[in-house]
Amino acid sequence: MATTVTARWHGILRYSSSDAVLIALSLVYAGLLLSMPSIPLIALGLWWTANTVAHNFIHTPFFRARSLNRVYSLYLSALMGFPQELWRQRHLRHHRGDDRPFQVTPNVIVETIVVLSVWLLLALTIPRFFASVYLPGYLAGLSLCFLQGHFEHAGGTTSHYGWLYNWLFFNDGYHLEHHRRPGVHWTRLPLEVRDGRSSHWPPVLRWLDSLTLEYLERIALRSPRLQRYVLASHERAFRALLPAIPGARRITIVGGGLFPRTALILGKLSPEASLTIVDAKRDHLTVAQPFLSDQVELREQFFDPRTDDGGDLVVIPLSFIGNRQEVYGNPPARAALVHDWMWNRQGTGVRVSWLLLKRLNLVTR
């Protein structure tokens, strides 16, 4: 039975029976709009449909028959509130990198009439809904589309290889690969060579790349209240784990410049220990020095976790530049306290803060 259905779809669809999923989801979205419309649904639906269904339909029209593609384009125009032929011209101009003027074709005219008819129907029959729900959701959706397009190319065309985003958005994250070969079907993009810019964040969240850990540290430097919170939350974690490291007399703190919370806490909890801060950036050490006593040694160098530190304890920061798993597998000292994200449990660990999404893990030799 499944083979028969697949063969039937394959006879209708031009490139892949997988496109049936996109068609079906666009119909589901229409059903949701009719049954439970809301500002978030309209906004998220427009953004998602534009970057999955409509985007793939532009490059690889779903149907073999031209008439079916025309009907589906009219449907998407009504669903998204934007003439698909204009959407197509705009997007292909983006791929070409030119300023070719938009063409007022018969398809543009018909699709524009469809969109205006839908809007007029909503405005006349349910004006309050049109003004207070549909239009705000529509404008929010266009804003999300703008953010998506901007951050896909800010600083150069960039891909995102996270499995969740690419599952939800049908491999839209393979953006650099798509630009190299725009005609490749979305199901085959993961097979393309990856050798360009990538980001850990999906496009609409890519502004988070600017919120580096160093940036957040510098915010802490300007806020005594934030400093007190950071010290208190980290001190609780260190208090819980230090008893498992008896006799820790030589402690190395990696990347402890800027606001040196680890050195301040360990100076309080282990006053008999000698503390050394190792940081590759001199200006970080310069900023940290006024917070510290003269007994804390400051060392400007890059920390190599493959080298035995010769001490009793090494503290690794969340911003550690290097192989964190290498530290977990072979600690560079008798014990290592490793700052990590909340969800990464290794060895014996405790939560630092839900707000900071951090935990502190202890591993020993």
| Alpha-carbon gap, residue 116 to 286, rounded angstroms | 62
Q: Please list the residue range(s) of the chain that carry CATH number 3.40.50.150.
A: 215-364
Phi-psi region of 128 (alpha: psi -120 to 50; beta: other; left: phi over 0): alpha
What order do you get walking across the sheet with 358-364 strand by strand?
A: 297-300, 274-279, 250-254, 313-316, 335-341, 358-364, 348-353
Q: Looking at residue 199, what is its pLDDT?
A: 85
Q: Looking at residue 210, what is its pLDDT?
A: 66
What CA–CA distances, in Å, run from 338 to 54, 164, 264?
45, 27, 17
SS3 content of the chain, % helix, strand, coil (to 5): 55, 10, 30
Nearest to 86 by CA among 58, 47, 56, 66: 58
Nearest to 41 by CA among 29, 52, 53, 54: 29
Average pLDDT, the chain: 90
64 compared with 215, residue with greater pLDDT: 64
Question: Could you tell me the pTM of the whole model?
Answer: 0.65
2 compared with 157, residue with greater pLDDT: 157
| Alpha-carbon gap, residue 45 to 32, rounded angstroms | 10
Helix (H) or strand (E) holding 210, with range, is none
| Alpha-carbon gap, residue 207 to 205, rounded angstroms | 5
Helix (H) or strand (E) holding 253, with range, is strand 250-254
Statement: 215-364 belongs to CATH 3.40.50.150: yes
- pLDDT tens-digit readout, 171-219: 999 999 999 999 999 999 999 888 788 888 899 888 877 666 677 777 8
Structure tokens at 135: 């239009």
- pLDDT tens-digit readout, 300-319: 988 888 777 678 999 999 88
Structure tokens at 201: 């964040």
| Residue 150 contacts residue 157 (beta carbons within 8 Å) | no
- pLDDT tens-digit readout, 324-333: 888 898 898 9
pLDDT exceeds cutoff 90 at 321:
no
| Alpha-carbon gap, residue 172 to 137, rounded angstroms | 23
